[in-house]
Structure 1
Amino acid sequence: MVSLKDISKACGVSVATVSKALNDHSDISKETKENVRQVAEKLGYHPNAAAQALKTNKTNNIGVLFVDEANSGLTHDYFSHVLDSFKKRAERSGFDITFINGDKTRANNMSYLSHAIYRGFDGVMIACVDFTDPQVEELIKSNIPVVTIDYMFSNRISIVSDNVSGMRELVSYIYKRGHRKIAYIHGLESAVTQGRLSSFYKTLQDFKVTIPDEYVVASPYRDTDSAFAMTNKLLDLKDPPTCILYPDDFAAFGGLNAIRQRGLRIPEDVSVAGYDGIDISRRISPRLTTVVQDTEEIGSLAATKLIDLINNPKGTLIEHITVEGELDEGESILNIANKN
């Protein structure tokens, strides 16, 4: 194993100078730092992580708390892209990523906070959890730097997709294409659901459109079976909707199946729209009308802000950042404007 003494001998400088150069001390010239680093890399030097942690009180390790109750794990289309972007940005800054065990049946019986302390995380990113869970609240109230995704705490940095404007743009597009009988199969209770549902109602109110209560039903996110059942429920109504919105693109596939099993065509007989903009929804026929969330920006911003908070806790603003999505008009909303 290459030591500081080996680098010192190769560079012709003291061991102390090598140590300061590798730790970017200000009293070492730029030229010396560059030379020491090049020699260290050439010799294959790797600093001892445990020793570095003792010196700097940092492990360069970030914890990720991701608890997907639908058990789709990292196949979750939206969050997998967010996490991939987060991971890439963190690794470019020299941080490793470790998942916090979110299984409530875990053998060690450690809380999220205990796990974070045990692992020595410099910070934690939280996404896709029950934010009202006492264990999550305990972690939020701790001194560990935390950034949340799609949920806001007053004392924590959050990166939130703009669900309000996204839903407004989607409903406005559907309205302009002549639809007035618009149903919404929304996700179960969460901050994301509340934002989208309120925006759905507000946009229709602005257009002076009133829809019956039975047009709005709940279904879990990414649950195709439930979306299938809810779609049949809507289409069985005496006055069924001409357009159905789904909680997300993946769930929408269940609705598409229900519609087609009835011998109905999309969008000629029933128009549909999803949310998220996952890859497969833009490759099917007809291409699904959806709101494409900027997962790359959300993940990258979350990593950037968390690393800023770790490196500069006193000078980093606690802020709530909203990331806008983009409407993909697709092909699944029929234009019936001229028929009304």
Structure 2
Amino acid sequence: MVSLKDIAGRCGVSVATVSKALNDHSDIGAETKERIRKVANELGYVPNAAAKSMKTNRTHNIGVLFMDDANSGLQHDFFASVLEGFKREVEKEGYDITFISNDRSRPGRDSYLTHARYRRFDGVIIANVHFGDPEVVELVKSDIPVVTIDHIYNDTTTILSDNVGGMTELVDFAVASGHRKIAYIHGADSSVTRTRLVTFHKKMEEYGIETPDEYLMESPYRDTHGAYECTLKLLELENRPTCIFYPDDYASYGGMRAISEKGLKVPDDVSVVGFDGIKVARHIRPRLTTYRQDTEELGRQAGKNLIDLIERPKTTLVQRVVVKGRLLEGDTLKKLN
């Protein structure tokens, strides 16, 4: 195994100089650093992770706690993209990531906090879990740096998609297109759902539009069958809506199937609006009118803020970071005016 001494001998400098150069100390010149790093690469030098961990008191390993009710795992378009952005950001800073097991059926499983301590995670990102779960709350309240995505805890940094801005733009666009009979099939109860629902009601009130109770229905996120069933009920109403908002893009395709089976057309008879802006929605025809969330930036901000909490705890403020998205004007919203 190549040592610092081997590199020092080849470069004609001290072991201390080699160590400082490889750790990017400011008292070593750029030219010297470049020469030492080049020799280190040529010799195949690999830093001793255990020694580095003892010196910095960090393992450079970050835990990821993620789940979803549909058990889609990393096939979950929205969060897979968020996690990819997060992964790229932390790996750029020399960190690895490890998923925290959430299989509660496994005998003798550790709590999330016990798992995190056993793995000696420097920090943890939490996304798309049941945020009221006592084990999640215990982890959030521990001394391990934590960043959450789309859920706010006191004294914890949170990265939020602009749900208020997204719903505002969608309602504005639908109303500007002449729609006043707008139904909303929203997701299961969560802080994201509540934010979107309150914004929907507020905007409709501002426009002086009354939303009948039967226009509001609940279906789990990413559940095409649930959205399909809710849409059938909306289409059976005597005063059926001209436009239906869905909790996410996946759900909207369940709604479109129901509309088609009723012998109706999108958007000629009923307009459809999604939320998320997943890739597949940009390629299927008709193109879905939706609000595209900037998933990569959500992940990048989560990684950046978590590393700041880990490496610069005394100068890093806990904050809420809102990441804006943008409206995608597809072909599923008819202009009535």
TM-score using structure 2 length: 0.97
The separation in 1 between residues aligned to 2:332 and 2:29, in whole angstroms, is: 62
Q: What is the CA distance between 1:271 and its match in structure 2?
A: 0.6
The answer to whether 1:160 aligns with 2:160 is yes
Give the 3-state SS of the residue equivalent to 1:220 in structure 2: coil
Give the 3-state SS of the residue equivalent to 2:24 in structure 1: coil
Within 5 Å, give how 1:127-276 maps onto structure 2: 127-276=127-276
1:314 maps to a residue whose letter is K
1:173-211 CA distance string (max 9 Å, x none): 111111111100000000000000001111000000001
Give the 3-state SS of the residue equivalent to 1:68 in structure 2: coil
The separation in 1 between residues aligned to 2:214 and 2:116, in whole angstroms, is: 45
Give the 3-state SS of the residue equivalent to 1:234 in structure 2: helix
Give the 3-state SS of the residue equivalent to 1:330 in structure 2: coil
Q: What is the CA distance between 1:33 and its match in structure 2?
A: 2.9
Q: What is the CA distance between 1:149 and its match in structure 2?
A: 0.6
Give the 3-state SS of the residue equivalent to 1:285 in structure 2: coil
2:255 maps to a residue whose letter is G
The separation in 1 between residues aligned to 2:270 and 2:291, in whole angstroms, is: 19
Within 5 Å, give how 1:82-101 maps onto structure 2: 82-101=82-101
The separation in 2 between residues aligned to 1:30 and 1:323, in whole angstroms, is: 36
1:280-306 CA distance string (max 9 Å, x none): 112122111100001111111111111
The answer to whether 1:68 aligns with 2:72 is no
Q: What is the CA distance between 1:223 and its match in structure 2?
A: 0.4
Alignment partner, residue 12 of structure 2? 12
1:76-128 CA distance string (max 9 Å, x none): 11111111111111111111111111222234411111111111111111110
Give the 3-state SS of the residue equivalent to 2:272 in structure 1: strand
Deviates more, 1:33-42 or 1:81-90: 33-42
Give the 3-state SS of the residue equivalent to 1:194 in structure 2: helix
The separation in 2 between residues aligned to 1:236 and 1:15, in whole angstroms, is: 79
1:272 maps to a residue whose letter is V
Q: What is the CA distance between 1:133 and its match in structure 2?
A: 0.6
1:36 maps to a residue whose letter is I
Q: What percent identity do the matched residue pairs reach?
A: 58
The separation in 1 between residues aligned to 2:34 and 2:287, in whole angstroms, is: 53
Alignment partner, residue 319 of structure 2? 319
The separation in 1 between residues aligned to 2:257 and 2:176, in whole angstroms, is: 26
The total of aligned residue pairs comes to 337
2:244 maps to a residue whose letter is I
Give the 3-state SS of the residue equivalent to 1:7 in structure 2: helix
The answer to whether 1:282 aligns with 2:286 is no
Give the 3-state SS of the residue equivalent to 1:38 in structure 2: helix
Q: What is the CA distance between 1:34 and its match in structure 2?
A: 2.8
The separation in 1 between residues aligned to 2:71 and 2:239, in whole angstroms, is: 36
Deviates more, 1:189-198 or 1:25-34: 25-34
Alignment partner, residue 124 of structure 1? 124
2:131 maps to a residue whose letter is F
The separation in 1 between residues aligned to 2:179 and 2:126, in whole angstroms, is: 38
Give the 3-state SS of the residue equivalent to 1:17 in structure 2: helix
Q: What is the CA distance between 1:38 and its match in structure 2?
A: 1.7
Q: What is the CA distance between 1:14 and its match in structure 2?
A: 2.7
Give the 3-state SS of the residue equivalent to 2:178 in structure 1: coil
State the superposition RMSD in angstroms.
1.3
Deviates more, 1:6-15 or 1:142-151: 6-15
Deviates more, 1:215-224 or 1:37-46: 37-46
The separation in 2 between residues aligned to 1:30 and 1:231, in whole angstroms, is: 64
The separation in 1 between residues aligned to 2:40 and 2:107, in whole angstroms, is: 42
The answer to whether 1:293 aligns with 2:297 is no
Runs of 5+ unmatched residues, structure 1: none
Q: What is the CA distance between 1:24 and its match in structure 2?
A: 3.3
Q: What is the CA distance between 1:333 and its match in structure 2?
A: 0.9
Q: What is the CA distance between 1:45 and its match in structure 2?
A: 0.2
Alignment partner, residue 102 of structure 2? 102
The separation in 2 between residues aligned to 1:308 and 1:10, in whole angstroms, is: 36
Alignment partner, residue 45 of structure 1? 45
